[in-house]
Structure 1
Amino acid sequence: MMSATPAVTPPSAIETEQALLGAILINPEALDRARDHVVAAAFYNDAHRQIFQVMCDRRDAGDAIDWKLLKAVLGDVDLGSGVSLGSYLAKLVSEAITVVGAPGYARMIAEAARMRTVLDTALAAVARMTDGSVHDPAGYATHMIEALDEVASSRLAEHARRVTLGHSVTSVLARVDQVRQGHAPRGVPYGLPKLDGYTLGMRPSQFIVLAGRPGMGKTTVALHIALTAARRSGAVGFFSLEMGAEELSERVLAATAYDPREPELITYRAIAEARGLSPDAMSRLQEAERACAGIPLWIEPQAALTLAQIAARARQMRMRAERQGIPLAAIIIDHIGLIRPSKRYQGNRVQEMTEISSGLKGLAKELGIPIVGLSQLNREVEKRQDKRPQLADLRESGSIEQDADVVLGLYRDAYYLEHKADRTDVEEDRLARCLNELEIEILKQRSGPTSRITCFCDVACNVLAEAAR
């Protein structure tokens, strides 16, 4: 038999709440520091919650904050045991020790409130799962994740809090000094020196779009970026909404085992087929396996994730990376057209994509990391003689172009030549010369130049490198 839901005393910080309110009554400026960390709803005691809310309202209105004013606004009500509000406020003032600890008090109150949210969610889950009826575990787990997501993300948005201009420019100059001395990287590297030079790498809070028609090598480029970032800068989350984890890993193995000096090139298709691999190829793949073992590249292979689910899992990755003592360097999504939209704009694809692109930009700012989203170009490209991508080719919504900080367009001339019937001798010669070429064009860069870079790309082996000129 299942036992009834146990009675549990909710976590609280009553004495800390008293200390914070007393500190504010002594010096109202303590309220400004406290409000960066706590809101009225986080107070456990009803009277404390009302007092703090009135303090905030008075401060916003430009009025003074003292216990006599609060008494006049709230009324000198009886708080129980013969204690009036007026005498209680006077007691808070007399027992207050310091205003310096106000931010610390506020954080402790907020932590207690978040613990109560965790407890309430857990108790509600126990009550629902033991009421004798049958429930969908996946659906209820999703409900719990959403309920706890705010708690899980509460520690992740410190960088996004309001700061003064003076503090911000001081931080910028400190970072500039570190970079000049070689103590800090400019940004998370793409792994292509010219592209890193033009863009300064993938910078914090950037939403980067990698765009191209099918067959242009979007996944090849995305995996190259992911592997480079994971090796040099920290953990990388790869949301593969199109391919399974094994299919993606076959590509990683092919890229890691690649050696142009070897007579046998190992393609990811050969890895999938398996039977034709030679003993030497197997030895190289085993060596590649060992090389991949320590790379913090985390693959999320579930299809049709919503933006909310991607955000929740990205936050979990951030916390996992912190526990391992490494930063979360980047998130890559393959591809944004496969993100399942919410029901808010159901049937209006333009509005759905607007919601997704703005949400990804917001997530990049919240986590303070670059987010790379792969995007398909529309079919209008195929009608032009020059099929190189343009910003106007971004599929389904102009908001992707608007929200993105950087848009990189991919183009492989060889793809179109390979699929052309009755090639001329000139085209055959051109195909031979561009067979392993991929162009990456910076179509948009909010804080830098546009340019075109030619790379070596062996799509079959999932290999990308800057072309030697």
Structure 2
Amino acid sequence: METNELLWDVSAEQSVIGAILLTDACLPEVERELQAGDFRLDADRAIYQAALALERMGAKIDPVTILDQTAKMGQPVSRDYILQLMEITPTAANVSEYIQIVRRDVLKTGLMDLADGIRDSVLGHTDPTDVMARTAQSLDKLMSQGNAGRLSTPAEIFSAFYRQRDAIDSGDAKGYVCTGYTALDQLLGGGMLNSGLYLLAARPGMGKTTMALNIADRVAQTDPVLFVSLEMDDEQLAAKRISRETGIPSQKLLMQPLSEREYADVGKAAKELSTLPFYTNNIPVVTVDDIGMLARGIGGLRLIVVDYFGKIAPPPSARRAGRVEYTTEISGALKNLARTLKIPVLVLCQLNREVEARQDKRPQLSDLRDTGALEQDADGVIFLYREDYYAAQNTVDPNLPSLMEVHLAKNRHGCVGSCEVAFSMASSRITGVSRDRKGSRPAAQLRLEGT
């Protein structure tokens, strides 16, 4: 076997093609990074070229259409080989990793070929000046190949913009994901921007998880959502969601007997919620890479929610670094994840006790300083604040809704400002608020809009 053959991981190449066959959603990412000539096997190259041709025609990409298209292009492949690729590919969720292995092998092979060429030229008594000149040209070409998919030309930049506009104008796609809260969406300019990183921050117990669950379920009414919970088990999340639908306190759902009527209400709510494309993690410790793999396994995913930032495990390479260093790395990885998947990532963030040392305890952007570069990386920062959170114990009735201030403190693509919602602690329900001309009202008199 030639040395260059040893540098080539055939399983990675086949897994890239297998991922395309499993889901054409990964084709744009492959197209950005790899060219047809990067595939060493003739059959893999033919399948990739057929997939690109089908994409340009707007046709569906699946094993049947690939078989037909390769035959039309004079490069037929066997049905058995296509089935083999789909069988040996572990998951399309890891296509980014497969792509990087292929890119690495292409560059290694190119360098070995270049080294062989230099050696042959020198031994063949070619003028050293000519050898260096040709070597420099070859290195430039190899470096350009290494940057393939990493640089966008001016034409590509505006092509991407107009593709997005075409999708929006045709109704095929939106540039944002609505939170489901009208006042907050208006502040955001419509909703959370695709590829955007958003923070939902507050003190512990203020209602972050409840707000995030409400947003996630509203999005899940039409599109798949991944809710990564690093604090609560599935049964606890389910209890909070059922509580919102039934009005039965989540504490009772988890710890106390229920009446026949309550069981009936719970069954009805659980049946309705179980139809929503709302996915959670079943592993208690995850890195950002783990979140990415979970996300890539969900077709049509429109939102990732992570509860919460402080519980995300650092990558192995950063575990010996200081807290600031690895939180900065996690923050950057979350932003990269949003950009790669082109969907919003909403991350819950817990503020420290210094907030409570101030007379005005409303959160400020400076309260995020312990989270590395999170504020800098975020496209939007949303703070939650409730006055009754700081009221004397036993003076607040958890069965009555209270005002929650929702403050958009940072918005990279629009204005900032505040709105109010009604928070019902016992039932985990957060709703819009309708006010009369007199302004604020006692909690018991709040008029709620929607559910």
TM-score, structure 2 length as denominator?
A: 0.63
What corresponds to 2:279 in structure 1? 298
User: Is contact 2:201-2:208 (8 Å) kept?
Assistant: yes
The amino acid that maps onto 2:176 is: G
What corresponds to 1:211 in structure 2? 201
User: Is contact 1:413-1:434 (8 Å) kept?
Assistant: no
What corresponds to 1:225 in structure 2? 215
| 1:465 lines up with 2:439 in the alignment | no
User: Is contact 1:337-1:375 (8 Å) kept?
Assistant: yes
User: Is contact 1:414-1:435 (8 Å) kept?
Assistant: no
Q: 1:313: Cα distance to partner?
A: 1.5
CA distance in 2, matches of 1:198, 1:35: 34
What corresponds to 2:380 in structure 1? 406
CA distance in 2, matches of 1:40, 1:341: 37
* Unaligned segments of structure 2, at least 5 residues: 1-9, 14-29, 46-69, 102-148, 436-451
Q: 1:149: Cα distance to partner?
A: 5.8
Task: Decide which moves more: 170-179 or 358-367.
Answer: 170-179
The amino acid that maps onto 2:382 is: L
| 1:335 lines up with 2:308 in the alignment | yes
The amino acid that maps onto 2:217 is: L
| 1:286 corresponds to which of 267, 285, 290 | 267
CA shift in 2, pair 1:419/1:403, >3 Å: farther
Alignment of 1:218-297 (within 5 A): 218-232=208-222, 234-257=223-246, 265-275=247-257, 277-297=258-278
CA shift in 2, pair 1:252/1:170, >3 Å: same
Secondary structure at 2:405's aligned position in 1?
strand
Secondary structure at 2:366's aligned position in 1?
helix
1:285-323 Cα shifts (integer Å, max 9, x gaps): 111112112100001142221222122222122xxx2xx
The amino acid that maps onto 2:191 is: G
What corresponds to 1:53 in structure 2? none
CA distance in 2, matches of 1:42, 1:183: 32
What corresponds to 1:73 in structure 2? none
What corresponds to 2:294 in structure 1? 313
TM-score, structure 1 length as denominator?
A: 0.61
Q: 1:351: Cα distance to partner?
A: 0.6
User: Is contact 1:149-1:312 (8 Å) kept?
Assistant: no
Q: 1:281: Cα distance to partner?
A: 1.9
1:157-180 Cα shifts (integer Å, max 9, x gaps): xxx876554555466456557757
User: Is contact 1:241-1:301 (8 Å) kept?
Assistant: no
Q: 1:198: Cα distance to partner?
A: 1.4
User: Is contact 1:409-1:440 (8 Å) kept?
Assistant: yes
The amino acid that maps onto 1:397 is: T
1:17-73 Cα shifts (integer Å, max 9, x gaps): xxxxxxxxxxxxxxxx9985338764259xx9xxxxxxxxxxxxxxxxxxxxxxxxx
1:315-369 Cα shifts (integer Å, max 9, x gaps): 122xxx2xxxxx2111110001101112433240001100000000000000011
| 1:151 corresponds to which of 98, 104, 108 | 98
User: Is contact 1:117-1:148 (8 Å) kept?
Assistant: no
Secondary structure at 1:386's aligned position in 2?
coil
CA distance in 1, matches of 2:399, 2:248: 22
The amino acid that maps onto 1:204 is: N
% identical equivalent positions: 31
What corresponds to 2:130 in structure 1? none
Secondary structure at 1:341's aligned position in 2?
coil
The amino acid that maps onto 2:375 is: E
What corresponds to 2:447 in structure 1? none
CA distance in 1, matches of 2:12, 2:378: 43
Secondary structure at 1:467's aligned position in 2?
strand
Alignment of 1:4-83 (within 5 A): 37-38=34-35, 42-44=39-41
| 1:389 corresponds to which of 363, 381, 395 | 363
User: Is contact 2:195-2:342 (8 Å) kept?
Assistant: yes
| 1:417 corresponds to which of 391, 395, 398 | 391
CA distance in 1, matches of 2:315, 2:283: 17
Number of positions where the alignment pairs a residue of Structure 1 with one of Structure 2: 327
What corresponds to 2:183 in structure 1? 194
CA shift in 2, pair 1:146/1:177, >3 Å: closer
| 1:441 lines up with 2:431 in the alignment | no
Bigger CA radius of gyration: 1
CA distance in 1, matches of 2:232, 2:399: 31
1:425-464 Cα shifts (integer Å, max 9, x gaps): xxx8xx9999511111001000111101110111221111
